[in-house]
Every structure is written in structure tokens, then in C-alpha cells.
Chains A and B, each alone.
Chain A
Amino acid sequence: MSLRLGLGVSWRAQLALSIERYPQLGFVELMVEHFPSHKPLPQAVLNLLERGVQAVPHGLSLSLGGAEPPARERLREMEALARRCHAPLVSEHLAFVRARELESGHLLPVERTPESLEIVLDNLRQAQQALSRPLYLENIATIVDWPQPTWEEAEFLRLLVERSGCGLLLDVSNLYANSRNHGGDPLEFLSRIPLERIGYVHVGGGVEHDGIYHDTHAAPLPSEVIDLLEELCALCDPPGVLLERDDDFPGEQEFLEEMAKIEGAVRRGQRRRVEATV
């Protein structure tokens, strides 16, 4: 059976009521680190699951791009959450977050070299063996990048996805942020990744400060990200599209407007795709 998630939201307690009342809700994303296995799931999440809303565990701290292999305890936590919410898939970032005793607390870029590729592939193999659901890899937004990469980001992602068998969680806002901060054409990026491997798509807001675009997930969706989402939907039919909002939480009216922007972009893109095939 092919994957179909629909429109989704990254679940946050501050948005719980708006999420529960959103009629078109197809899925929610649950941060693995927010739902430890020794604590029960919040009633608001259980209500959604009972309603048939799908849930996708999303990790922040597996450090799949790290030089150290992913910790078994963290993989067990992800697997436990996936089982508890009957998830169709799980997702994590292509990033590293720790080295020895130091923790970054945020996603840092992976070197795009042949040696690093092999190490990340080995990490992915270990993660896939520990998880009963398909693993989807997300592209991250970066402000600094490693010098002299062997491959561009799109090519590196393609190699990883094809060789590991992982799916792709495409963050359109991260793609936009990287094109703003490092240059490059996001449409060309889309033409170079395996679009058929996309499980779902992230969109979120950000702000520019001193010439650098920060993907904060704390602002309304910029029109450029919505346009890029439309372009993506004109090229392929992603099974799900999800809004990320982590701070400066909107009221219900603004939340509905944000979801309407996403819905509109998906619909316009789909229409263009259908027209192009007729």
C-alpha cells in the first residue's frame, strides 16, 4: 500500500487545541526526545491517534552524521515511540549533534566527502537494523559548511538515499535557507534529488538578520517557501506536507491561515502537474 499522510503539523503542547480542531489533519510529527518511553503520551496526542490521525516519530539527537555510531538507547526510544503510536515511518536529520563530551543542541552539517559518506552509510545501516519502520532522512539548514566538499548537497543526499535505501524527508524551508545563505538554485536542487523517495515535506518560517537567513520555525511562512512548495508539487506528489512551528506560537486564526497557505500551494502544484501530463 502506498504511503499517504496528507497535511500535518509538528505537534506542540502550545498548539494542541488548534491541531485537534484542524479538520484536514492527516498526520502529526512527534519529537522523539519529547516523549520518553517511561512517560505516557499526552491525552491530546492519544485523542488524535484514536481519531485515526497518523503519527511520525521525528528525531533530533540520533546524530546519524556523527563520527560516533548512533546510541542504542536513542534508537530504542525512537522504536518505542514508533510502536506506541503505530507509526508508518520514522525520520531523522542528516546532521551531527555531538562529538565526544560536547553536545551542540542543534543540527550541524556533515562533510560531503567519500570517507564521510561511508561512515554515514554505516550509521544508517545500524539505525535501520534497530528500527522496524522505514527511516527517512531530512536535509538541514546550515550557516557554516565544511570547506572543499566532494559533492554538492543534492548529490550527497541522492547517494545516501540510493545506497542506504532510506527515504527522503525534504525540508523545503531548509532548501530555501541554504540557497539564501550559500547560493545555488533550489529548483536545480529539486531536479537532482530522487523525488520519488520523498515521504513527506517540511515547511516552516524564518527571519533574516544581518544578511543571514535563520530557519527559526518561529515566524509565518515566507511566500518564497510557499512558491517553492508549489514548484515541488508541480514536479511530484509528496505523500505528506507538514508545518513546523516551534516558537512564537500563532493563535488559531493565524494557524489556519498558515495551513491554508500550504493547502493552496499543494493544490496549485498538483493542478500544474496534471495539466502538464494532459
Chain B
Amino acid sequence: MNREQLLERQYQLLSCLVAAGPDPEGMPARRLRIVSRGLACKRRREALSSWPGLARLAGQVEPWFDLYAATHQRPAGGSPLLDGYQFNLWLARRGVAVAIRTVCECRPYRQSVVPRPAWQRHLLSLRYGLKEWWRRQSPEDTLKISLPTPV
């Protein structure tokens, strides 16, 4: 078995655990489900707790995160901070004020985030402000991108 063959086997296991792929042969299905649920919970907990703005939405934001996670894998490198940032972007596109503030204030850098320069902050605030104004003018667009109802 060379690196490529091992990679394929590890990819199959990972795909089963985080991307709803089929179970690898010879591994107990019940335990795979337990690990898969554990990884999803850990991902959500780490991403939300990395951002105080998201942590303040505790009890409300979790179903939104699950919806986001269903279509977005952890970012390359696996950083919870970047995962949370990506989720903030997802929320900002749907007009969530606390997420818009986060996205305007900082940007990704390597496996972390850094503050945006002032000109970028102002430009982004203006852009999101205009989007919000436009959304108010077009209720049908608001419906298309609105947040799901928390369960």
C-alpha cells in the first residue's frame, strides 16, 4: 500500500464521518454514527464559541449552523476560528447584524483572522448597508435568502 492507496482509505473513512459518505468495510455502523455525531457537535461548539457575537446567539443560532454545515465543510486547515468566520459570512449574507459587524471588522489570515484596515471596514459597512436597503425595497429577495426558522 502506497501513500495514494492509504489516502483513499483514509478519505473513505473521513467522507463517511463528515460528508455522509458510505460506511467503510469492516467498521461497525453504530460506532461510526456515534463518531460522526460527535464530530459534528464538536465542530459546531468550537466554531460558535470562537466568536463572542455568535456565542451571544446561543440557543438560536445552532440550527442555522447545522444548515450551513450541511453545505460547507470545515475550511482547509480545519481552524474553528475560520469555520466560525465562514459561518459569519453566511449569516452576513442573510442580513444578521452581529455577523455583518464581524465580517466588516476582520478578515481571514492563514489559520486565523486579523483586523481589516479602516478603508476596508468602511467600504464593507457601506456595501452591507446598501444591500440591506435594497433588500427592504425587494421583499421577494428577502424571502429567498432569509434565515430558516430555528427549530
Contacts and interface: CB of A to CB of B under 8 A. Distances in A.
A36 B108 CA distance: 13
B75 to A, nearest CB: 8
Given A101-B73, A104-B14, A147 B35 contact: no
Contact of A108 (B13, B31, B34, B46): B13
Given A38-B112, A115-B1, A144-B35, A105 B42 contact: yes
A214 B38 contact: yes
Interface stretch (A61-69, A169-177, A228-236, A256-264): A61-69
Interface in A107-142: 108, 111, 113, 115-116, 119
A96 B11 CA distance: 10
Contacts of A143: 31, 34-35, 38
Contacts of A214: 38
Interface string A49-79: 0000000000001000011100001000100
Interface centre among B3, B6, B7, B77 (most CB of A within 10 A): B6
A144 B78 contact: no
Interface residues of A, number: 37
Contacts of A144: 27-28, 31-32, 35
B7 A100 contact: yes
Secondary structure at the B interface, as helix, strand, loop or mixed, is: helix
A129 to B, nearest CB: 18
B123 interface: no
Contacts of A77: 111
Interface string B1-40: 1111111011101110111000001111001101100110
A245 to B, nearest CB: 15
Interface residues of B, number: 43
Nearest to A120: B6
Contacts of A111: 6, 9
B40 to A, nearest CB: 9
A104 to B, nearest CB: 6
A224 to B, nearest CB: 21
Contact of A38 (B6, B79, B110): B110
7 contacts: A102-B15, A102-B73, A104-B17, A108-B10, A111-B9, A116-B1, A214-B38
Interface of A: 33, 36, 38-39, 61, 66-68, 73, 77, 96-106, 108, 111, 113, 115-116, 119, 143-148, 210, 212, 214, 247
List of 6 A-B pairs having minimum Cβ-Cβ separation, nearest first: A147-B26, A67-B7, A103-B78, A115-B1, A67-B6, A99-B11
Given A99-B7, A108-B13, 10 more contacts: A67-B6, A99-B13, A99-B14, A101-B73, A102-B14, A102-B73, A105-B80, A106-B42, A111-B6, A115-B1
Interface of B: 1-7, 9-11, 13-15, 17-19, 25-28, 31-32, 34-35, 38-39, 42-43, 45-46, 73-80, 109-112, 114
